[in-house]
Each structure stands twice: as C-alpha cells, then as structure tokens.
Amino acid sequence: MGFTIGEIIVSYDVNKLHVDVKNAMKLLGYNEKWNYPNDKSYYLPNTTLWHSNKSSNQGISDLKSVCSRLGVSLEKAIAVKATEFVGV
C-alpha cells in the first residue's frame, strides 16, 4: 500500500468524459505538465497526471471519488510514487 506522501503519478482509463475527469482532478491540485527551472513545459500523456504532495493511495482514492461523482466507469488505473521526472 502507498502511504508515503510525496510526488505521485496517476495514470488511468475511463469510459467517457475524459476531459471532465482531468479537470476535476486538476481542481484537486493534480497537474498535466511539469517544467524544470528555466526550461520548457513537458506535458504528460492525456490521462496521466501528477501531484506534488499525495500518497499513491490518495491518488487512487481521489480518482475513484471523481469518477463516482461524474458517473464515469474507472476501467483501470495506477498511482506510483515518483522521485524523478525525465521527459520529451
């Protein structure tokens, strides 16, 4: 179980309302992009978000709550502690 608070990545598939799910998660402090100091922004894949101060359990719980509230079926999801970001 993931109880350690820190940076996490959450990736998920839903059956509908992808934009609404992402926007609701963003209202909870999740982000779709990151950037290094003095560098460009890097966007994550469409249904992947990160948070700077949550546990992986909290990430899944937030996602389940959002999907339930929107009447969306959460088909699959993963939340992992992320300690280093590298992207293109």
* Domains defined along the chain, listed by start: 6-81 (3.30.70.2360)
Average of per-residue pLDDT across 52-80: 97
For residue 85, pLDDT over 80 is answered with no
Average of per-residue pLDDT across 7-26: 97
- What is the predicted pLDDT for the residue at 2? 65
What distance in Å separates the CA atoms of residue 88 and residue 72, rounded to the nearest whole number? 31
